[in-house]
Structures are given as structure tokens and as C-alpha cells.
Chains A and B, each alone.
Chain A
Amino acid sequence: EVQLVESGGGLVQPGGSLRLSCAASGFTFSLYTMNWVRQAPGKGLEWLSYIDSASSIYYADSVKGRFTISRDNAKNSLYLQLSGLRDEDTAVYYCARGVKGIVGTLSFNWFDPWGQGTLVTVSS
């Protein structure tokens, strides 16, 4: 069974740091692009970052310079280092596998599966 399990969330003060982890199982982790997506309480989904199989990285402007994504293929694990945390970073953080598929002659991608999420609360 393909599974993603996040950990590392918790309560942190503004300006603090936290490292989130996502443990993958049931698939060849090293071959896939992995993503982080967050959801503030009662709000919608916000994509944050991806790291592909070649370790190319992209960040949303909202977290660029503050968050760092990384992966350890030997441990089948994805990470997100959060620093300079603000109140507005309070959210459930999900990791999600990027899946590619061919429809007709075109290549498409989507997120599947998602982990269960880990809650980060930024508060003094």
C-alpha cells in the first residue's frame, strides 16, 4: 500500500523553527516528485514546495527564503525545514506524491496520495 506519514508538527513561537518529516512506503520513493501543501484552519489548500527526482526544487513566494525542502532517498523520507515562523504559518502541513500519467499524447500530473497531515501552530 502506498502511504505517506507526516510528523514533526507542534507549537512553536513566532520566529521559531521546526522540521517536518514525511515517511514514504509502498513505492519507489526516489523516482517521484514530492510536494508540501498546507491548509490554514478553515481555509483552502496552498501549495508550498516541490522537490523532484533530480532534487530540483521550487518554492511558493510565500515561503521562499524561510522554508527548505529536502529528501533522503535512502530513508524514503521527505523533509520541510520551517524557519522564521509567523502566525500566518499556522496550518496543517501535508506531503503529497506527484504522479504523472499520459492521456492521449500529453503528460499530466496530479497529487496522490496525500499524508494525513501534521499541525503546526505558531503562537506566543
Chain B
Amino acid sequence: DIQMTQSPSPLSASVGDRVTITCRASQSIGSYLNWYQQKPGKAPKVLIYAASSLESGVPLRFSGSGSGTDFTLTISSLQPEDFATYYCQQSYSTPQTFGQGTKVEIK
């Protein structure tokens, strides 16, 4: 199975900060990487698919980059509604494994 490792965890930030979350795969997965946001008590919601494609309706302050084994999710200017836990997921092979999550907390 492909292991996905996220950093940092947790991440403390303030409103307006530029935030970067990193996800590393245990082997090359091309661009088969998705990012999800999960708020407490809610189901995850997709933000980014195929490493850098923004899901419809997701604010432009979210962006994704990377390929191979190293990927990043960037929030250009953190908003109050962005405080949540973020998960990466590889869709290169089954089982489609998730990272352990990065909780973005208020500083």
C-alpha cells in the first residue's frame, strides 16, 4: 500500500496568513493526488483533484501543486471558515490511502 504523510500537524495560523500543507507519498503517484477539507462533525469535502485542479465552487485562495511524491496545498489568505482539518488522498492505486490529516488551528 502507498503511505501518505502530511506535515505539519497541527498548524497554527492567523486570519490572513498564507498557509502551506505538505503531503508526501511513499512512491511516485504522478498527479493522482486529491485534497479534502473536513470541519468538525461534518463529512469531508473535495477541494483539489489531480494535484492542482480546483473543484467547482471552491474559493480561488485554495491551490494545489506537485507531482511524483511531493505535493502541497496552499491557502493564500486564511479565512475564518478555513479552520478545519485537511487530508490528502492518493488515487493512483487501490487501496486509495489518505494522509493522517493536518488540523489548521487559530493562533
Chain A residues proximal to chain B, CB less than 8 Å: 44-47, 50, 58, 60-61, 94, 101, 103, 106, 108-117
Contacts and interface: CB of A to CB of B under 8 A. Distances in A.
B98 A108 contact: no
A47 B1 CA distance: 12
Given A101-B53, A103-B50, A108-B31, 13 more contacts: A44-B87, A44-B100, A45-B89, A47-B95, A47-B98, A60-B95, A108-B50, A108-B91, A109-B91, A111-B36, A111-B46, A116-B42, A116-B43
Contact of B45 (A58, A60, A114): A114
Interface of B: 30-32, 34, 36, 38, 42-46, 49-50, 53, 55, 87, 89, 91, 94-101
B86 to A, nearest CB: 11
Contact of B49 (A47, A108, A115): A108
A8 to B, nearest CB: 16
Contacts of B44: 45, 94, 111, 114
A117 B43 contact: yes
Contacts of B45: 112-114
Given A45-B101, A115-B43, A108 B95 contact: no
Nearest to A117: B43
B94 A103 contact: no
A71 B5 CA distance: 33
Contact of A110 (B43, B91, B97): B91
Contact of A46 (B30, B31, B98): B98
